Amino acid sequence: MYMFVDKSKSALLDWPKRYNIIIGVARGLLYLHEDSQLRIIHRDIKASNILLDELMNAKISDFGLAKLINDEQTHHRTQRIVGTL
């Protein structure tokens, strides 16, 4: 949120911190897709769904559109349109 809302706070996020946030999000997605007991597809990753703790560690939030899929499944086709056309 620092990057998009308050330009005076953008100095708090230098490029090494931003890189660590990106890596944290990628690790979170890898966990959801590969390492979790349940395979979870988030389906709504965006900046507002990434929370930062006091140490600027990224946490994925808002699992309202998430989908559980089988371990063997690599693709999922849905009939419902999600998002803006």
| Catalytic center residues | 44
Closest CA to 13 of 1, 27, 25: 1
DSSP state of 5: S
Question: Quick one: tokens of 80?
Answer: 């419902």
Residue 22: strand, helix, or coil: helix
